Structure formats: C-alpha cells, structure tokens
Amino acid sequence: MKPKKIHDSVLELIGNTPMVRLNRIGAGLVSEILVKVEYMNPSGSLKDRIAVEMIEQAEKEGKLKPGYTIIESSTGNTGFALSSIGTLKGYKVRIYETMPGKAGAEKQKMMHNVGAEVRLMEPADIEHLRERSVAGSEVELPGRQLCLEDERAEPDKIWWARQFSNKDNVKAHHVTAREILEQTDGKVDVFVQSIGTGGSLAGIAEVLKKEVPNVKVIGIQPASSKELWHPGMDFPATETKGGIVSAMLKQQGLIDVLVRITDTEARAMTHRLWQEEGLYCGVSSGANVHFALEEAKKSGGKKSIVTLLCDHMNRYLTEERYVT
C-alpha cells in the first residue's frame, strides 16, 4: 500500500515506528542491536499505542461514554498519552501520580498543557490513604487506590483505564510485535524490554514466542523497585496490584530472564544514545540498550537483539531517573 500523503487525524500516526541499527554502540560486535524508536509516536512514547486501544475498546464496550472523565495512575507517559488522545476525543482526563515524586516535572507540565487535571501527592497523603484504605491493604500503590475510590464513588461518570491489568494494553503490543517481525524478516534472537505495567513485554513476548523458535525474552526491572520479581513467580493479583505483571511471570516460558538495572547504568547508556547515535530517548531506553549490549557481547554467532526506545529525552531535562 502506498503511504498516505495526508492523514485525517494524528491518531493515524500511532505505531509503525522505525527501527534503527546501533552502529557506534554496537561497533565491533558480531551481533547487531536494533532499536524500535517508540518515542516517534505522536505523544512521544510507546503509550500512545495502548491509550488509543484501551479508549476505543472501552467506547465499543460502552464502558466509556460522552461526558465521562478518563482517570489513571501514571508516572506520566500513559498519563500524557491518555491526556492527549482523551482530550482530542472530547473527554475530561484526570491523572494521579503513582506515588509521591514519581511523575517528572516535564510530564506533569505536558499533561497539564493539553488540558488534563494532574493530581500530585505528598508523603502525608499516603498516611491519610492508609486510614481509609479500601482493601485494608498496604498503600504502596496510592495512585491506583485513588483511582479505585473515584471509580467506586462515580461509576457512571468515570472510566479508569486500569492500564496495569487492562487486556487491551497487552493486545496493543501484539501489533508492535508484528511490526518487529516484519522489520527484521522474523530474525529476532533476543528481545529486551523494561517493565512498568508489563503490557509491552507481555504483548510482544506472546507473539514472538509463537512465531520465532528459540527467541530469548528478557525483562528489566529498575533496581529501585521494591519488589523483586523472577520468572515463574506466583504473584497475587488484586484490584490494585499484580495484573499483567503477575500473569506474565506465572506463564511458563514467556519470560526467560529478569534483570535489574540501576539508574547510573541506565543514565550512562542514555547519554551514549544521545551523543553517539543521535537517538533522543529517555532513561528506560538506556536501561534497555545497556542490557542489549551485554547480550550482544556474550552471544556466540551473529544474533539480532531487539529492544525499544520507550520515550523521548524531552521528559528528562530536569531529572534523569529510570522510571517505568
């Protein structure tokens, strides 16, 4: 099909992101590192893919109706993608920070600038939440707990996207996987991705594991994460916890390896991507490439190691932190 010269809407620009070989960072290696440039999505991150899929599916199922407010707990990328697509479609959008201090200054401003209501948190708010905890649970995911409270209070006015457990988050990334297969002619030996909700890793792994014999799938956790995950872990899911990550870890053979990467390692590789490759990505992309390079160095024979550049450097000007 000939590429369209004029698009009817910015929504048509979501997905079909380019893939680039790392020539300098990968210099001298037999294997190649291929990065899929997800920051070229319209809102600057991979989260456009899931935002449009979750919103349009909820509309079809009658869960999201005109006049509703879309809510979510986010460190900012899903928040901004929902804010931009949600306001474009005429909805109000309210984004809660996941926990105090997690949403960077640029992401807060971007969400606010496109018309979303941004609710930040103070450490004292967590204590307050603990007192009226809905599930009597530990308040380690306060943003999600606030979304649950809002949803229960006004079920006819609010749609909580529930990205951490929404099946359409995973489904949106089946498309990402198909694009990867097409761009590499099916030659993917290793796939590496940082985990937030787990939607991208689970969705891409589900397709790759079906289509590519012996593909190795590696997940990365920020070393700052409180919970230590491992493949095969029996991790309970509740209304505010677990979701895609717990299903993904339990599913035998989906994820082969889980590693942890520090802020320092992630930041150092992010700077190399900016300075040596002209790829203006965020810090989780640096974490991805840091580990992709480790794999490339140790692999015997020519392997294709694929990873994602999840978001744009423009949201890390004030602070360079590895958050997912």
Ligand X SMILES: Cc1ncc(COP(=O)(O)O)c(C=O)c1O
> What are the catalytic residues?
47
Question: Taking CB under 6 A as the rule, does residue 195 contact ligand X?
Answer: yes
Q: Which is nearer to ligand X, 174 or 187 (CB)?
A: 174
Q: Candidates 199, 222, 243, 286: give the one binding ligand X (CB under 6 A).
A: 199
Question: Taking CB under 6 A as the rule, does residue 17 contact ligand X?
Answer: no
Q: Which is nearer to ligand X, 68 or 169 (CB)?
A: 169
| Contact in structure between 42 and 50 (CB atoms under 8 Å) | no
Beta bridge partners of 94: 71, 117
Site for ligand X in 64-103 (CB under 6 A): 75, 77
Q: Candidates 69, 98, 197, 307: give the one binding ligand X (CB under 6 A).
A: 197
CB of 69 to ligand X, least distance (A): 22
Cα 138 from Cα 277, distance rounded (Å): 43
Q: Which stretch binds ligand X (CB under 6 A): 118-126, 149-157, 196-204, 232-240?
A: 196-204
Question: Taking CB under 6 A as the rule, does residue 165 contact ligand X?
Answer: no
Question: Taking CB under 6 A as the rule, does residue 143 contact ligand X?
Answer: no
Q: Which stretch binds ligand X (CB under 6 A): 58-66, 192-200, 256-264, 271-279?
A: 192-200
Where would I find the H helices in the chain?
A: 47-60, 77-88, 105-113, 123-131, 142-153, 167-183, 199-211, 243-250, 263-277, 283-298
Question: Taking CB under 6 A as the rule, does residue 176 contact ligand X?
Answer: no
Q: How far is CA 59 from CA 14, 53, 91, in A?
A: 18, 10, 11
DSSP letter string, 295-322: HHHH-SS--EEEEEE-BBGGG-SS----
Q: How far is CA 60 from CA 15, 73, 154, in A?
A: 21, 23, 20
Positions that interact with ligand X (CB under 6 A)? 75, 77, 194-201, 282, 284, 310-311, 324
